[in-house]
């Protein structure tokens, strides 16, 4: 499961530093279309994840996971073969659907493979493998851009995806016991009506803490993904290669914090809910700092600090759900949780595109700061009213 997690995230993160640049400089699209191309991936992914929460389970889970990996891996190789923005949006939508299935199924299966006594440690290990994927992507891009150019770097995204294809094929015969357990959980969940199940999840204030914290952060991340490369290139005069280094620093920080998160949580000096509040506060402050710092080194340092925040937010939210949501509702809860992450990343480029046109690229960071501030207030209220 960790190899598959590493693979799909590495493939995704190869695209992160270059997609906006490719759309604007090679396809010659407008800023608004840059935002739309980024958003369609996550909008499609979010729609797919909620349906997975309802219908997930059964003997064909791993087979569909293998098929999703094949589709996910082929799409980046098709990007440089088209100069049509509509076709690129369609490809991004198809890849977003495959991304949704891989992410949701892998997380659920990884959690079910671990005993409850070791679950925090296991979730931390799995999310650390995702961080290594985030680290590998921009590392590949950093070396590929000067050697092969932006367009040819998309083929490396496909190559990283096919690592997951081989892992899924190998595991197809190796995790039947896990698949059986998942099927049992899905069958028992059917006894509870869907509306009652989703109502129970939404009323769970701990789930609310996990969802709101992650949603707010990934709105910020959606802004970074779509517009930070353009801002760094146009306002701070970063080269394409240096933009890739910027994302490499970001994911190094993410990896370091994710490798440490298990130890931080086990120390019990700060509760998981408090960690979510603190992370949201600092994410907003660092986003605001991006808008005001004009020094390249200062910008890169703050950019890396936001990466460190990401290394805390996602695994802590996953741990809260694993701990406070009963197993029969776990599949649906994780689907809603991850759908919220995608919705945040999907709407961020759309709601900030008009701000860019009206005021400039730097003001997108201010918008995400305001959203983080509102989320902080909501998290504090949820934490005050959480069950003992």
- What's the pLDDT tens digit per position in 202-217? 888 999 999 999 999 9
Query: Which pLDDT does position 297 carry in this prediction?
Result: 93
The fourth-level CATH superfamily of domain 2-384 is MFS general substrate transporter like domains (1.20.1250.20)
Q: How far apart are CA 341 and CA 218, in angstroms?
A: 6
Q: How far apart are CA 235 and CA 213, in angstroms?
A: 30
Q: Which residues of the chain have pLDDT under 70?
A: 50-61, 108, 111-117, 119-120, 124, 173-191, 385-388
What's the token pair of residue 253?
Answer: 């920080």
Q: How far apart are CA 99 and CA 158, in angstroms?
A: 13
Residues in the chain: 388
What's the token pair of residue 35?
Answer: 């935002």
User: Long-range contacts made by residues 284-288, C-beta under 8 angstroms, separation at least 24?
Assistant: 284/220, 284/368, 284/369, 284/370, 284/371, 284/372, 284/373, 284/376, 285/369, 287/220, 287/223, 287/365, 287/366, 287/368, 287/369, 287/372, 288/365, 288/366, 288/369
CB atoms within 10 A of CB 190: 11
Q: How far apart are CA 288 and CA 227, in angstroms?
A: 14
For the chain, the structural domain boundaries read 2-384
Q: Reduced to 3 states, what is the DSSP secondary structure of residue 238? A: coil
What's the token pair of residue 265?
Answer: 């949580």
Decide if 230 contacts 284 (C-beta within 8 A).
no
CB atoms within 10 A of CB 252: 19
Query: Which pLDDT does position 388 carry in this prediction?
Result: 56
Decide if 326 contacts 201 (C-beta within 8 A).
no
Q: How many helices (H) and strands (E) does the chain have?
A: 15, 0
What's the token pair of residue 176?
Answer: 């039947």
Buried residues in 280-293 as b, exposed as e (16+ CB within 10 A): bbbbbbbbbbbbeb
Look at residues 331, 345, 337 and name the one whose alpha carbon lies nearest to residue 110: 331
Q: What is the pLDDT of residues 324-348, one digit of tens each?
A: 888 777 777 877 888 888 889 989 8
């Amino acid at each position: 499961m960790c190899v598959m997690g590493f693979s799909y995230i590495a493939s995704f993160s190869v695209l992160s530093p270059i997609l906006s640049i490719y759309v604007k400089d090679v396809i010659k699209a407008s800023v608004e279309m840059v935002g739309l191309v980024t958003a369609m991936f996550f909008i499609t992914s979010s729609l797919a994840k909620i349906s997975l929460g309802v219908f997930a389970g059964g003997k064909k889970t791993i087979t569909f996971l293998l098929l999703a990996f094949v589709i996910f891996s082929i799409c980046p190789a098709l990007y440089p073969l088209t100069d049509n923005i509509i076709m690129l949006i369609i490809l991004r939508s198809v890849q977003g659907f495959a991304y949704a299935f891989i992410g949701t199924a892998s997380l659920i299966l990884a959690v079910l493979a671990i005993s409850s006594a070791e679950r925090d440690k296991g979730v931390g290990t799995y999310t650390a493998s995702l961080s290594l994927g985030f680290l590998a992507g921009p590392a590949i891009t950093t070396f590929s851009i000067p050697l092969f150019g932006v367009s040819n770097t998309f083929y490396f995204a496909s190559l990283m995806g096919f690592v997951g294809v081989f892992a899924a094929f190998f595991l197809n015969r190796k995790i039947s016991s896990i698949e059986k357990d998942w099927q049992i959980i899905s069958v028992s969940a059917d006894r509870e009506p869907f509306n009652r199940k989703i109502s129970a999840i939404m009323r769970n204030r701990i789930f609310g803490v996990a969802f709101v914290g992650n949603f707010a952060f990934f709105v910020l991340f959606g802004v970074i993904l779509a517009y930070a490369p353009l801002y760094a290139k146009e306002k701070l005069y970063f080269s394409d290669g240096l933009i890739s280094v910027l994302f490499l620093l970001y994911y190094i920080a993410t990896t370091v914090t994710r490798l440490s998160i298990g130890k931080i949580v086990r120390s019990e000096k700060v509760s998981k809910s408090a960690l979510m509040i603190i992370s949201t506060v600092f994410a907003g402050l660092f986003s605001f700092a991006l808008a005001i710092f004009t020094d390249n080194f200062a910008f890169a340092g703050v950019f890396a600090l936001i990466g460190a925040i990401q290394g805390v937010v996602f695994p802590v939210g996953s741990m809260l759900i694993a701990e406070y949501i009963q197993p029969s509702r776990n599949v649906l809860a994780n689907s809603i949780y991850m759908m919220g992450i995608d919705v945040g990343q999907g709407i961020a480029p759309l709601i900030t595109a008009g701000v860019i046109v009206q005021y400039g690229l730097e003001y997108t960071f201010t918008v995400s700061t305001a959203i983080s501030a509102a989320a902080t207030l909501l998290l504090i209220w949820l934490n005050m009213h959480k069950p003992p």
